[in-house]
Copies of this chain bind each other. A is one copy, B any other.
Amino acid sequence: MHRTAHSTCTVEAHRDKVGALLAPVAARVESVPLREALGRGLAADVAAPLDLPPFANSQMDGFAIRSADVPDGGAELRVAAPVPAGAEPAALGPGSAAPIMTGAMIPTGADAVVPIELAVPDSFPEPGAAATVRLPAAPVGNFVRDAGSDISAGEPALAAGTFLGPGQLGLLAALGLTEVPVHAVPRVLLVTTGDEVVEPGGPLQPGKIYDANGTLLDSALRQAGLHVTRTGISADDPGALEQLLTAHAAAVDLIITTGGVSKGAYEVVRQALAGHDVEFGAVAMQPGGPQGIGTFGGVPFLGFPGNPVSCLVSFEMFLRPVLADLFGSPAPRTVVRARLAEALSSPEHKHQVRRGTLSPDGTVRLEGGAGSHLVHALARANALVQIPMGTAALAAGDEVEVWML
């Protein structure tokens, strides 16, 4: 049996390594219809091809007027033909007021809108009937949305790397675009390992546990927008694991394994990758300290530890921020400051990540202890509580950084 020396690095340094490893994958770009772009990252800057709004339009239902036609005391104006939304209205002659609907184009000559509520009478006349309306004065631009007041043609609309959610895709549609350049979806091979691990659904023999890591990471990766291939569970046979990875490597952009990266006597991932350009070390983090990183046959490789909480923390601390940064997808986690509802202790020379529940009142309580096997506690949490290196203890009421899950 063997134990090898471990290098130790900080959370930030390891995240940088993951970023450098995956940067080349971000170069693959494709153009897709807006509908398929939901949840993906914009791969190039997009400039506005037209003004928004495309033309000056009314912010209210009311009357379009020439501001100069109405003195301070108000005036009686002739009612012109109404302007529904979507129509190109005739020019507005002097001394008249055109009924206009919200969003409809301001007629040439008009420069202000008086809301219908301020008109006497305060309802629109039947179209075609000769009528007048008494209106109060309104300054130039009153309830007028100018062309280009949201964005002007040629201006930057969205920057490369933007996460494309409903608001961003809505903007692209408003700009008349139907396709958008996005980063191609990274393809991940996910292999859980361990002689003790069996698929859920079958019988559980003594000493065995059901595989939580596969479902947990598959879910996290898919939620982050990645394409995941799973191989099932690999037993503690280094040769077989190496063969398995060789068989799949060419078809994926990233290989992730779980387990077998620690300092024990039976570390299948370390053994299987001994001949490859993979470094096994310890990140100064609890949980999730043991980490493998490198390439397997030229394909980026990450070896996560074997406990479920360690897997999720590895994903959230290293992979997800890198994906958000390189691909613009998933969206970065919301980071907030919160007050601890209870005291905690932390290993001073490590960055500790605890599971917690943030309340709307700005306090966060811990879910379960520090143990990386506590998957029920994890399932209750809505946040990761970050306790940086150099902190050995915090009191109730102390402020901490919290990442919302």
Which residues of A are at the interface with B, using a C-beta cutoff of 8 A? 1-3, 34-35, 38-39, 48, 50, 52-55, 59, 61, 82, 84-89, 99, 101-105, 116, 123-127, 145, 150-151, 157-158, 165-178, 194-197, 200-201, 204-220, 222-223, 236, 262-266, 306-308, 312, 334-337, 358, 360, 362, 368, 371, 373-379, 381-382, 404-405
Contact across chains for B265 and A308 when beta carbons are under 8 A apart = no
Partner of A105, one of B52, B207, B212, B368: B207
- Tell me which of B86, B172, B212, B263 contacts A236 (CB under 8 A): B86
**Do A173 and B216 touch (CB < 8 A)?**
yes
Chain B residues within 8 Å of A337, by CB: 360, 362
A99: which B residues are within 8 A, CB to CB?
1, 265
A164 to chain B, nearest CB (A): 8
Are A167 and B379 in contact (CB-based, < 8 A)?
A: yes
- State the CA gap A183–B217 with chains docked (Å): 23
Which residues of chain B are near A171, meaning CB under 8 Å?
Answer: 212, 375-376, 378-379
A52 to chain B, nearest CB (A): 6
**Within the complex, what minimum Cβ distance (angstroms) separates A170 from chain B?**
3
Q: Are A87 and B207 in contact (CB under 8 A)?
A: yes
A81 → chain B closest CB, angstroms: 12
Known: A59-B371, A219-B38, A308-B170. A86 touches B358 (CB 8 A): no
Give the contacting residue for A200; candidates B158, B176, B207, B236; CB below 8 A. Answer: B176
Write out the residue numbers on chain B whose beta carbons fall within 8 Å of the beta carbon of A173. Answer: 200, 210-212, 214-216
Closest partner residue, chain B, to A228 (CB atom):
B35
Distance in Å: Cβ of A85 to nearest Cβ of chain B: 4
Is A262 a contact of B87 with CB atoms below 8 Å?
no
| A379–B394 alpha-carbon span in the complex (Å) | 39
Which of chain B's residues have a CB closer than 8 A to the CB of A201? 176-178
Q: Collect the chain B residues with CB atoms within 8 Å of residue A158's CB.
A: 379
Query: Whose C-beta in chain B lies nearest to the C-beta of A230?
Result: B35
For the complex of A and B, the 6 pairs showing the least CB-CB separation, nearest first, are A170-B216, A86-B196, A86-B195, A174-B212, A173-B215, A166-B219
